[in-house]
Structure 1
Protein backbone atom coordinates (compact mmCIF):
# COMPACT_ATOMS: atom_id res chain seq x y z
CA UNK A 1 0.00 0.00 0.00
CA UNK A 2 1.25 3.46 -0.93
CA UNK A 3 -0.22 6.57 0.75
CA UNK A 4 -0.13 9.89 -1.10
CA UNK A 5 -1.35 13.08 0.60
CA UNK A 6 0.22 16.52 1.01
CA UNK A 7 -1.01 16.71 4.62
CA UNK A 8 1.25 14.83 7.05
CA UNK A 9 -1.54 14.46 9.63
CA UNK A 10 -3.80 12.82 7.01
CA UNK A 11 -1.00 10.41 6.02
CA UNK A 12 -0.46 9.50 9.66
CA UNK A 13 -4.17 8.93 10.25
CA UNK A 14 -4.58 6.89 7.08
CA UNK A 15 -1.46 4.84 7.87
CA UNK A 16 -2.90 3.98 11.29
CA UNK A 17 -6.26 2.95 9.79
CA UNK A 18 -4.62 0.83 7.11
CA UNK A 19 -2.30 -0.96 9.51
CA UNK A 20 -5.21 -1.67 11.85
CA UNK A 21 -6.95 -3.28 8.87
CA UNK A 22 -4.03 -5.57 8.10
CA UNK A 23 -2.52 -3.58 5.24
CA UNK A 24 1.23 -3.14 4.90
CA UNK A 25 2.16 0.47 4.12
CA UNK A 26 5.33 0.33 2.01
CA UNK A 27 5.69 4.01 1.19
CA UNK A 28 4.34 7.54 1.50
CA UNK A 29 4.52 10.58 -0.76
CA UNK A 30 3.32 14.17 -0.36
CA UNK A 31 2.48 14.89 -4.01
CA UNK A 32 1.82 13.31 -7.38
CA UNK A 33 5.46 13.53 -8.45
CA UNK A 34 6.51 11.51 -5.40
CA UNK A 35 3.66 9.07 -6.06
CA UNK A 36 4.97 8.37 -9.56
CA UNK A 37 8.52 7.82 -8.30
CA UNK A 38 7.40 5.44 -5.54
CA UNK A 39 4.93 3.61 -7.80
CA UNK A 40 7.78 2.88 -10.24
CA UNK A 41 10.20 1.82 -7.53
CA UNK A 42 7.91 -0.07 -5.13
CA UNK A 43 5.12 -1.33 -7.43
CA UNK A 44 2.40 -1.27 -4.74
CA UNK A 45 -0.79 -3.29 -5.15
CA UNK A 46 -2.93 -0.39 -3.92
CA UNK A 47 -2.41 3.38 -3.80
CA UNK A 48 -4.51 5.73 -1.64
CA UNK A 49 -4.08 9.17 -3.17
CA UNK A 50 -5.41 12.63 -2.38
CA UNK A 51 -7.05 14.45 -5.28
CA UNK A 52 -5.72 17.97 -4.58
CA UNK A 53 -1.95 18.26 -4.05
CA UNK A 54 0.85 20.65 -5.06
CA UNK A 55 3.20 20.06 -8.02
CA UNK A 56 1.02 17.34 -9.56
CA UNK A 57 -2.58 16.62 -8.67
CA UNK A 58 -3.83 13.21 -7.72
CA UNK A 59 -5.90 13.07 -10.91
CA UNK A 60 -2.82 13.70 -13.05
CA UNK A 61 -0.82 11.10 -11.15
CA UNK A 62 -3.73 8.63 -11.38
CA UNK A 63 -3.80 8.86 -15.17
CA UNK A 64 -0.05 8.32 -15.44
CA UNK A 65 0.04 5.46 -12.93
CA UNK A 66 -2.89 3.63 -14.54
CA UNK A 67 -1.22 4.08 -17.93
CA UNK A 68 1.98 2.45 -16.67
CA UNK A 69 0.49 -0.07 -14.21
CA UNK A 70 -3.15 -0.81 -15.07
CA UNK A 71 -3.24 -3.63 -12.51
CA UNK A 72 -2.56 -1.23 -9.61
CA UNK A 73 -5.70 -0.33 -7.67
CA UNK A 74 -5.86 3.42 -6.99
CA UNK A 75 -8.34 4.77 -4.44
CA UNK A 76 -8.77 8.53 -4.51
CA UNK A 77 -9.12 10.54 -1.28
CA UNK A 78 -10.69 13.99 -0.95
CA UNK A 79 -12.06 16.40 1.59
CA UNK A 80 -14.25 18.15 -0.96
CA UNK A 81 -15.97 15.63 -3.20
CA UNK A 82 -17.49 16.99 -6.36
CA UNK A 83 -19.34 15.21 -9.12
CA UNK A 84 -16.61 16.32 -11.53
CA UNK A 85 -13.76 14.92 -9.37
CA UNK A 86 -15.55 11.61 -8.88
CA UNK A 87 -16.39 11.37 -12.59
CA UNK A 88 -12.82 12.21 -13.67
CA UNK A 89 -11.38 9.76 -11.16
CA UNK A 90 -13.57 6.88 -12.29
CA UNK A 91 -12.95 7.66 -15.99
CA UNK A 92 -9.21 7.69 -15.30
CA UNK A 93 -9.32 4.26 -13.69
CA UNK A 94 -9.79 4.88 -9.97
CA UNK A 95 -10.98 1.80 -8.11
CA UNK A 96 -12.76 3.76 -5.39
CA UNK A 97 -13.24 7.03 -3.57
CA UNK A 98 -12.76 7.90 0.14
CA UNK A 99 -14.10 11.14 1.62
CA UNK A 100 -12.42 12.97 4.51
CA UNK A 101 -12.97 12.97 7.44
CA UNK A 102 -12.17 9.28 7.45
CA UNK A 103 -14.59 6.68 8.75
CA UNK A 104 -12.52 3.59 9.52
CA UNK A 105 -15.11 1.09 8.32
CA UNK A 106 -15.72 2.96 5.07
CA UNK A 107 -11.99 3.25 4.35
CA UNK A 108 -11.41 -0.47 4.89
CA UNK A 109 -14.53 -1.48 2.91
CA UNK A 110 -13.51 0.71 -0.01
CA UNK A 111 -10.00 -0.78 -0.03
CA UNK A 112 -11.34 -4.35 0.09
CA UNK A 113 -13.59 -3.61 -2.87
CA UNK A 114 -10.72 -1.96 -4.77
CA UNK A 115 -8.49 -4.97 -4.09
CA UNK A 116 -11.15 -7.39 -5.36
CA UNK A 117 -11.94 -5.35 -8.47
CA UNK A 118 -8.25 -5.04 -9.37
CA UNK A 119 -7.66 -8.76 -8.88
CA UNK A 120 -10.73 -10.82 -9.74
CA UNK A 121 -10.57 -14.12 -7.92
CA UNK A 122 -8.04 -12.86 -5.34
CA UNK A 123 -8.80 -13.67 -1.74
CA UNK A 124 -8.20 -10.87 0.78
CA UNK A 125 -7.18 -11.66 4.32
CA UNK A 126 -9.65 -10.99 7.10
CA UNK A 127 -8.64 -7.32 7.36
CA UNK A 128 -6.79 -6.67 4.15
CA UNK A 129 -4.06 -8.06 1.94
CA UNK A 130 -0.77 -8.13 3.80
CA UNK A 131 1.13 -7.82 0.55
CA UNK A 132 -0.51 -4.53 -0.36
Structure 2
Protein backbone atom coordinates (compact mmCIF):
# COMPACT_ATOMS: atom_id res chain seq x y z
CA UNK A 1 0.00 0.00 0.00
CA UNK A 2 1.36 3.38 -0.99
CA UNK A 3 0.74 6.62 0.88
CA UNK A 4 0.87 9.90 -1.03
CA UNK A 5 1.45 13.10 0.93
CA UNK A 6 1.43 16.65 -0.42
CA UNK A 7 3.52 18.79 1.95
CA UNK A 8 3.60 22.59 1.97
CA UNK A 9 6.66 24.29 3.50
CA UNK A 10 6.08 27.96 4.33
CA UNK A 11 9.16 29.90 5.38
CA UNK A 12 10.61 33.17 4.10
CA UNK A 13 14.14 31.74 4.27
CA UNK A 14 14.84 29.39 1.34
CA UNK A 15 17.62 27.62 3.22
CA UNK A 16 15.22 26.77 6.07
CA UNK A 17 12.72 25.32 3.59
CA UNK A 18 15.43 23.22 1.97
CA UNK A 19 16.75 21.91 5.30
CA UNK A 20 13.22 20.95 6.35
CA UNK A 21 12.56 19.32 3.00
CA UNK A 22 15.79 17.31 3.28
CA UNK A 23 14.92 16.18 6.81
CA UNK A 24 11.43 15.13 5.72
CA UNK A 25 12.79 13.35 2.65
CA UNK A 26 15.29 11.42 4.79
CA UNK A 27 12.53 10.46 7.19
CA UNK A 28 10.25 9.34 4.37
CA UNK A 29 13.03 7.32 2.73
CA UNK A 30 13.76 5.61 6.06
CA UNK A 31 10.14 4.49 6.52
CA UNK A 32 9.56 0.81 5.93
CA UNK A 33 6.29 1.47 4.14
CA UNK A 34 5.91 3.03 0.74
CA UNK A 35 5.44 6.78 1.12
CA UNK A 36 5.56 9.21 -1.76
CA UNK A 37 5.79 12.90 -0.95
CA UNK A 38 5.38 15.95 -3.14
CA UNK A 39 6.79 19.17 -1.73
CA UNK A 40 5.46 22.65 -2.35
CA UNK A 41 7.07 25.84 -1.13
CA UNK A 42 5.99 29.36 -0.24
CA UNK A 43 8.03 32.24 1.14
CA UNK A 44 5.01 34.23 2.35
CA UNK A 45 1.67 33.60 3.97
CA UNK A 46 -0.17 35.20 1.07
CA UNK A 47 -2.60 33.07 -0.99
CA UNK A 48 -1.98 30.01 1.16
CA UNK A 49 -5.63 28.96 1.21
CA UNK A 50 -5.68 28.89 -2.59
CA UNK A 51 -2.39 26.98 -2.70
CA UNK A 52 -3.69 24.39 -0.23
CA UNK A 53 -6.79 23.88 -2.37
CA UNK A 54 -4.93 23.84 -5.69
CA UNK A 55 -2.15 21.47 -4.59
CA UNK A 56 -4.42 19.34 -2.37
CA UNK A 57 -2.07 19.81 0.58
CA UNK A 58 -2.16 17.19 3.35
CA UNK A 59 0.46 18.56 5.75
CA UNK A 60 1.81 22.08 6.38
CA UNK A 61 5.02 23.23 8.06
CA UNK A 62 4.55 26.93 8.81
CA UNK A 63 7.11 29.45 10.08
CA UNK A 64 5.81 31.92 12.65
CA UNK A 65 7.88 34.86 11.38
CA UNK A 66 6.81 35.73 7.84
CA UNK A 67 6.84 39.01 5.94
CA UNK A 68 3.52 40.91 5.68
CA UNK A 69 1.47 38.48 7.80
CA UNK A 70 2.41 36.41 10.84
CA UNK A 71 2.40 32.65 10.72
CA UNK A 72 -0.12 32.65 13.57
CA UNK A 73 -2.52 34.71 11.43
CA UNK A 74 -1.93 32.35 8.50
CA UNK A 75 -2.67 29.42 10.83
CA UNK A 76 -5.94 31.05 11.95
CA UNK A 77 -6.93 31.58 8.31
CA UNK A 78 -6.14 27.95 7.52
CA UNK A 79 -8.25 26.76 10.45
CA UNK A 80 -11.32 28.63 9.16
CA UNK A 81 -11.28 26.77 5.84
CA UNK A 82 -9.39 23.57 6.76
CA UNK A 83 -10.10 22.76 10.42
CA UNK A 84 -8.64 19.25 10.17
CA UNK A 85 -5.51 19.97 8.14
CA UNK A 86 -2.37 19.09 10.09
CA UNK A 87 -0.22 22.20 10.61
CA UNK A 88 3.15 22.13 12.36
CA UNK A 89 4.55 25.48 13.41
CA UNK A 90 8.27 26.08 12.95
CA UNK A 91 10.17 28.89 14.66
CA UNK A 92 13.55 29.94 15.93
CA UNK A 93 11.78 31.52 18.90
CA UNK A 94 10.76 28.88 21.40
CA UNK A 95 9.31 31.13 24.08
CA UNK A 96 6.48 29.52 26.03
CA UNK A 97 4.21 32.34 24.82
CA UNK A 98 4.96 31.49 21.16
CA UNK A 99 4.25 27.81 21.73
CA UNK A 100 1.06 28.45 23.73
CA UNK A 101 -0.20 30.95 21.14
CA UNK A 102 0.47 28.51 18.28
CA UNK A 103 -1.29 25.61 20.01
CA UNK A 104 -4.22 27.83 21.08
CA UNK A 105 -4.56 28.97 17.45
CA UNK A 106 -4.85 25.38 16.26
CA UNK A 107 -1.32 24.14 15.57
CA UNK A 108 -0.88 20.38 15.73
CA UNK A 109 2.74 20.70 16.83
CA UNK A 110 5.72 23.00 17.21
CA UNK A 111 9.28 22.51 16.00
CA UNK A 112 12.07 24.80 17.14
CA UNK A 113 14.84 25.84 14.72
CA UNK A 114 17.42 24.55 14.42
CA UNK A 115 15.37 21.38 14.45
CA UNK A 116 16.59 17.85 14.84
CA UNK A 117 15.75 15.07 12.44
CA UNK A 118 14.02 13.31 15.34
CA UNK A 119 11.55 16.19 15.81
CA UNK A 120 10.78 16.18 12.09
CA UNK A 121 10.37 12.39 12.15
CA UNK A 122 8.05 12.65 15.15
CA UNK A 123 5.87 15.23 13.40
CA UNK A 124 5.61 13.09 10.26
CA UNK A 125 4.83 9.97 12.30
CA UNK A 126 2.07 11.89 14.12
CA UNK A 127 0.58 12.76 10.73
CA UNK A 128 0.76 9.11 9.61
CA UNK A 129 -0.90 7.92 12.86
CA UNK A 130 -3.68 10.45 12.36
CA UNK A 131 -4.23 9.14 8.82
CA UNK A 132 -4.41 5.55 10.05
CA UNK A 133 -7.25 6.48 12.42
CA UNK A 134 -9.21 8.28 9.69
TM-score, normalization: structure 1?
A: 0.83
Task: Check if 1:11 corresponds to 2:17.
Answer: yes
The aligned length equals: 121
- Which of 121, 125, 128 aligns to 1:112? It is 125
Which ranges in structure 1 are unaligned for 5 or more consecutive residues? 123-132
Aligned mates of 1:43, 1:92 — CA distance in 2: 22
Structure 1: 4+ residue segments shifted above 2 A: 34-37, 114-117
Which ranges in structure 2 are unaligned for 5 or more consecutive residues? 1-6, 29-35
Task: Check if 1:94 corresponds to 2:107.
Answer: yes
Alignment-derived partner of residue 130 in structure 1: none
User: After superposition, what is the alpha-carbon deviation per residue over 1:70-91, rounded to whole angstroms, capped at 9, x for unaligned?
Assistant: 1210000000111121111111
Aligned mates of 1:29, 1:88 — CA distance in 2: 22
Task: Check if 1:62 corresponds to 2:95.
Answer: no
1:52 match: secondary structure: coil
Between Structure 1 and Structure 2, which shows a larger proportion of strand residues? 2
Q: Which has more radius of gyration?
A: 2
Alignment-derived partner of residue 127 in structure 1: none
How much does 1:63 deviate?
A: 0.5
